[in-house]
Amino acid sequence: MRRKTKESRWFAEMETKVQFFDLDPMQIVWHGRYVKYLEMVRCELLDKIGYNYVEMKESGYSWPIIDMHLRYAAPATFGQVLKLRADIVEWENRLTIEYTISDAATGKRLNRATTMMAAVEITTGEMCFVSPPVLFEKLGIEKPGMEQ
């Protein structure tokens, strides 16, 4: 996983409180629950750009996650308030989002993650090797090669 060199102009942040059902027998957040946290903030980000799962389907594309990396630095515990952040860092050939999960009170990083999503045409089931124009439209930028 690469480190962010600068903050993205497309990001979302939110907070969530660790619930009892997120804990494992060691009384810390079970490692698999972090995927849920990523999904929560990813949906917040996709809503922010107006291209969440309903809009994706309406545009004729699904965007499955094709790669995911998680790096755990410290455990989260019951009742802890977490700050979740997602940044879009790549969009030309796939949609790559980098995440940071930290303690909301102290800012201490607990987890860093990356997901990679690829556009798939719903009608054909074919993966796109270049992101479709709708993504560039939602991001408010010109598609590469379209500049005048």
Q: Give me the residue spans of the domains in the chain.
A: 11-138
Say yes or no to pLDDT of 25 above 90: yes
- The residue-averaged pLDDT of 84-94 equals 96
Band (pLDDT 50/70/90 cuts) for residue 82 is very high
Amino acid letter for position 56: M
> How far, CA to CA in Å, does 88 sit from each of 47, 84, 98, 125, 127?
13, 14, 7, 24, 20
SS3 of residue 15 by DSSP? strand
Contact 61, 128 (CB under 8 A): yes
Supply the pLDDT for residue 148.
Answer: 47
Supply the pLDDT for residue 147.
Answer: 54
> What are the pLDDT digits (tens) for 98-140?
999 999 999 999 999 999 999 999 999 999 999 999 999 999 9
Does the predicted TM-score (pTM) go above 0.85?
yes
Supply the pLDDT for residue 143.
Answer: 80
Supply the pLDDT for residue 1.
Answer: 40
- The residue-averaged pLDDT of 51-75 equals 97
Q: Which CATH superfamily is domain 11-138 in?
A: Hotdog Thioesterase (3.10.129.10)
H or E segment to which residue 118 belongs: none
